[in-house]
Structure 1
């Protein structure tokens, strides 16, 4: 008797999903609670497990199809599926068998083959991009050695080798988008130099081998090749394809770009245009340009910044703080502080503690907006902007009100190091209630920071600059810093924003207030 495989019960806010990937084919043996299929919704990817052991009898919802909550996706029958594809009961099975046999025939060293899959992405991440392959087909690797890096809009995830051996086939080229647990490559245990021979002999068996090819005229383009053609504005008819059936691969486009043999010729546009072209002065020397795709992190940063400006009624208020007291305190205790806590005493610890105290006094600044609701947070989780080569990330210090200045400094040093190494986790960059950014380390004297949604305010620190100031009726040279607070006027009134910034100023100019809570 067949057992139905049903889609999970979707959350109330999710109306439908799509079949992301089947991990089994009709005829394959399955064990109870083994992963069979993944359903992708607009928020999460849901896993469907086998309700019983048996053989996958049929698939009723193919990959890419839209399904509803608890819809029947397929069925499991009784029996064993040890050799389902040898029986040829189905055209799709026969085709899959032929493809699998071709892989087995590859001289991959005679070892066991594994599917190399993308990591399981967190719920908030739907897809990633293959940033780079550290190893090529046929290149010997050790167990747990990094094979590839997957870049998401928040972190870079590493894919490691499951055993000693070599890559037999790469299914997802650099730059291609992948989903959670998608198969990236085939890995052969004990394989080495001979695997590359097979790869060279079969150039068509690459990541471009898929159902998303596109036909342009009489030419067939692989997905990666199509992307390069669009980027370089090439004439497809001038590119010679080396893939199966004359299919144009990524390598063919790269070769055409290097040789300059597929550029679109300029069309004649009349005598006036010709004269204008003739009159244009000749430019001597090389004028190199380089076009690279925007990283997913940079795309996310751009999207969030534009979203903040489009959705928030953003306004900025400024003030200046005399940093003399804090600088004197640092100079007096810096050596003792390092010996006691094994970390340098910086400025950020004072700012985080001052901001924590000010946030307690002005809860509106510590709140966030969720649709038409205001969420007041009874804690202070402060994000600290960290600049990396890949872009800006904002790891979060939790419960800063209960942290000591030494704990803050240690946390920031740790965040900075791991951010530059790409080792920060998703959970460490989510859930902040307020953000501090320091443009002063790069020499910025004044700027207007942009709010980090759904937060309602952000504090901008700047360069300490000596300036003449009137102190008790006399002109003195003082170390001054401009401070800026950008805030969402939908939530925070100007009076509260100004008083919040003045509170930070007062606490920094008289650090004893932080200890006395006044």
Structure 2
């Protein structure tokens, strides 16, 4: 009896996946726990292993195909079983699928908002990728639903025609709310000539693309028509996320003269045009939280400066050895994180928060890292930073930054945090007053390193200096504590040996 090979249960908020790589072919003998195929989502790559020894008798989902959770993608027969009869299995599965399609052909199928992540009350219709009357295929992405944390894709449950859109872009919706309807198996209402052209483009620009590629196209505003111009470097010429990134970079670096040549025709001289776009949910959430922080806290900022030469000397001396051992480059953030956690131990009020009329003191050290992403500023959390070495901190920060850049941060990554570090220096900021990340009581702002003349032992020296800014809630943190905290961070950074010796 054949054993079904299925797509694993997908992570929360992931609607579909793509068959990335088959490591076996029909007729191959496999052993228990052998990796058969890689399934790619926009968040992770999942391995599907053989549940027992046997022979691959059929593969019903080739590489590049979009699949759903627990969908059967292959059959595993007993050892010695011939692969030829297995041809009947895909045919049987196909017949069953056709029968199922015929049962619902012409019926109205509701398009619903997915189940939203925990603690998310509602969402926004971000982008409809199809219009009413257009033909769609099963598993084609119809619409993106945006929450203040993640973007969810809603795919077509059947082949058919999108009959109506009940909620346009920008509308606020709730979990499992009906936002449109699909007429299953129906022919499109568009002219026949247009209908004949559409399937070929759809196959290349939507269905054959992995979820991560589709997300990259959407984030960069690349239409299906434009996507067909991207040269794929993946297997069988499929477009990869790297291909999309390269295409976007090539557009940005196109000769300015080409743009100026077309500008007179597109934009008349002296044109004073405006563009109005609605705020994304993430941007609205950021705006509301920043306004709440300003209005609901007694926020003050204290400043100091730190000589970065000792840390820069250590990096220069040990950077190659560090990278060879830990597999990650030695940056400034690990030193700052270490210094902050040590200072938090000495000033527990800064590691606390206000809850109503109570003060909650935290005896753990979860540090939020402000990360700039294409969708806005987010603050993922590095857990138990006091228990990590410099190498582990650098790896953790790098992982959070990459997940933020690729839109793969999870709810768990974003939840909690007792203190925040933000680095405006990477953008050239010399000094600023960062805003507290509620319900935390303080935030440390790093800035640009700049050579300045400093008086050292009665002599003037040129040193690489950085201004530090600590914004704090004066309701909980007194001026003496805030200054003491910042001085402690400064002293630990200017004498990094103390960080290693816990002094």
Q: TM-score range by the shorter chain?
A: 0.5 to 0.7
| 1:330, distance to aligned residue in structure 2 (A) | 1.2
Q: Answer whether contact 1:109 1:195 (CA < 8 A) is retained.
A: no
* Alignment counterpart, residue 182 of structure 1, candidates 171, 177, 180: 177
Indicate the residue corresponding to 1:86 in structure 2. none
Query: Which stretch shifts more, 161-170 or 370-379?
Result: 161-170
> 1 CA distance for matches of 2:185 and 2:402?
36
1:115 pairs with 2:104: no
Superimposed CA distance per residue, residues 396-430 of structure 1 (whole angstroms, 9 cap, x where no aligned partner): 11111112222222222222222233222222212
Query: Which stretch shifts more, 123-132 or 158-167?
Result: 158-167
> 2 CA distance for matches of 1:195 and 1:409?
56
Indicate the residue corresponding to 1:358 in structure 2. 343
Larger Rg computed on CA atoms: 1
| 1:382, distance to aligned residue in structure 2 (A) | 0.8
Indicate the residue corresponding to 2:478 in structure 1. 493
Instruction: Give the superposed CA RMSD.
Output: 2.6
Indicate the residue corresponding to 1:326 in structure 2. 311
Q: Answer whether contact 2:354 2:439 (CA < 8 A) is retained.
A: yes
> 2 CA distance for matches of 1:326 and 1:473?
23
> 1 CA distance for matches of 2:104 and 2:132?
13
> 1 CA distance for matches of 2:450 and 2:331?
17
1:124 pairs with 2:109: no
Distance 1:134 1:345, change over 3 A: farther
Distance 1:511 1:111, change over 3 A: farther
Correspondence list, 1:110-509, <5 A:
110=105, 113-139=108-134, 141=136, 143-190=138-185, 194=188, 196=190, 285-509=270-494
Q: Answer whether contact 1:386 1:416 (CA < 8 A) is retained.
A: yes
Q: Answer whether contact 1:133 1:147 (CA < 8 A) is retained.
A: yes
> 2 CA distance for matches of 1:454 and 1:188?
48
| 1:358, distance to aligned residue in structure 2 (A) | 1.0
TM-score between both structures, scaled by the size of structure 1 = 0.59
Q: Secondary structure at the match of 1:364?
A: helix
Distance 1:112 1:333, change over 3 A: farther
Superimposed CA distance per residue, residues 370-414 of structure 1 (whole angstroms, 9 cap, x where no aligned partner): 111111111111111111232211111111111222222222222
Q: Answer whether contact 2:343 2:485 (CA < 8 A) is retained.
A: yes
Q: Answer whether contact 1:435 1:458 (CA < 8 A) is retained.
A: yes
| 1:197, distance to aligned residue in structure 2 (A) | 6.7
| 1:185, distance to aligned residue in structure 2 (A) | 2.4
Q: Structure 2: where are the runs of 5+ without partners? A: 1-101, 195-267
Greater per-residue helix proportion: 2
> 2 CA distance for matches of 1:402 and 1:517?
12
Q: Answer whether contact 1:308 1:451 (CA < 8 A) is retained.
A: yes
Q: Secondary structure at the match of 1:431?
A: coil
Q: Answer whether contact 2:134 2:188 (CA < 8 A) is retained.
A: no
> 1 CA distance for matches of 2:311 and 2:159?
56
Distance 1:108 1:415, change over 3 A: farther
Q: Answer whether contact 1:167 1:195 (CA < 8 A) is retained.
A: no
| 1:189, distance to aligned residue in structure 2 (A) | 4.9
Distance 1:190 1:409, change over 3 A: farther
